[in-house]
Amino acid sequence: MKPEYASLPYLNAVLILETSLEIEALRLSLAGIENAAGRVRTEDRFAPRTLDIDILYAGDKKLVTATLNLPHPRWAERRFVIQPLADVRPALVLPGIEETVLELLEKIPLTPPVRLIEESL
C-alpha cells in the first residue's frame, strides 16, 4: 500500500463460495460486480476504489494466467486478508504453503491493526 493511502479506512471481508463456474468465468462475473459498483480501474493499482473482489484460492488449484494467479500471490503477506480468512477457515492450508492460515496469522505483525467491524463503530 502506498503511504498516501495508508490512513484511508476500508472494509475487508472473506466470503467462502461454492460455484460450478470455471475460474475465468467467475473472475469475469466478479469484475462485472465491481464495475456495477462503480469501480474505475487506473494505472495505480493501489488507488482507492469502490469495490475490489479478489479470488484468493480455488480449492487445491495452482494457476497462473494473464488475468489470474492462484492462490493469490500476496495473500499470506497481508493481515487484512489472513485475519478474516482465519476467522472462517483457520485450518486451511493453501497450495504451495505448508502452514495453516492460523499459523501464518500468528507470524504477521499486529500493525496495521485489523478490527472487527463492531469494534470500529
Domain residues for the domain of 51 are 3-112
pTM for the model stands at: 0.84
In a domain, 118, yes or no: no
**pLDDT value of position 11:** 85
User: Is residue 121 one of the residues assigned to a domain?
Assistant: no
Is residue 61 included in any domain, yes or no? yes
Interval 22-44: pLDDT, tens = 999 999 999 999 999 999 999 99
Whether 101 has a pLDDT exceeding 60, the answer reads yes
| Cβ(105)–Cβ(79) below 8 Å | yes
HEC-encoded secondary structure of 64-78: ECCCCEECCCCHHHC
What totals of helices (H) and strands (E) does the chain contain, helices first? 4, 2
Residue 120's pLDDT is what?
55
* Number of domain units in the chain: 1
- Is residue 97 included in any domain, yes or no? yes
What is the CATH number for 74?
3.30.70.560
Residue 119's pLDDT is 58
Among all residues, which ones are annotated catalytic? 39, 49, 52, 54
Q: Averaged over 65-88, what is the pLDDT?
A: 92
77 domain-assigned? yes
